[in-house]
């Protein structure tokens, strides 16, 4: 359904801005417009009666169904990827890596040079922290 189908069923419709309207609510005896209507970029239509009528009451009063306020799903919809770990779990896994970075940083601040094994541990820890950051950003 386009928002125009709903708007054509309402009284005293006023455009309030881009994709926004105000009208008399058909679900109660509305003397001055109290129904806000908004069309989202995906075609969904939101309705809100400031007098308290539910969306179901509003659309039923004009002979529509709630499902008509939302666009039909297309086959091109890509479901959100499910990740095996939560952000909390990913961050908890970094505790050993942060300790390694802290200990090596403390040694470096005292002027102690890193041997090859310590340098590799630092590089690995920083790499894991960076990978966890990228993972959490994708959640």
Task: Annotate the chain with DSSP letters as a single string.
Answer: --HHHHHTTSEEEEEEETTEEEEE-TTTT-SS--EEEEE-TTS-EEEEETT---HHHHHHHTT--GGGGSPPPPTTPPPPPPPSS-HHHHHHTTHHHHHHHHHHHHHHHTTPPP-HHHHHHHHHHHHHHHHHHHHHHT-
Digit-coded pLDDT (tens) for 19-67: 999 999 999 999 899 999 999 988 899 999 999 999 999 999 999 888 8
Digit-coded pLDDT (tens) for 55-104: 999 999 999 888 888 887 666 656 666 778 888 888 888 899 999 999 99
Taking the whole predicted model, whether its pTM rises above 0.85 is answered as no
């Amino acid at each position: 359904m386009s928002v125009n189908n709903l708007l054509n069923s309402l009284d005293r419709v006023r455009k309030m801005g881009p994709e926004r309207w105000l009208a008399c609510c058909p679900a109660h005896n509305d003397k001055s417009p109290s129904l806000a209507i908004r069309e989202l970029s995906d075609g969904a239509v939101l309705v809100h009666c400031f007098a308290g009528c539910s969306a179901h009451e509003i659309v039923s009063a004009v002979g529509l169904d709630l499902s008509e306020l939302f666009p039909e799903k297309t086959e091109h919809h890509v479901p959100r990827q499910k990740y095996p770990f939560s952000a909390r779990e990913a961050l908890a896994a970094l505790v050993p890596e942060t300790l390694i970075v802290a200990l090596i940083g403390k040694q470096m601040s005292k002027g102690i040079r890193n041997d090859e094994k310590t340098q590799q541990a630092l590089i690995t820890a920083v790499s894991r922290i960076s990978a966890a950051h990228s993972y959490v950003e994708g959640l």
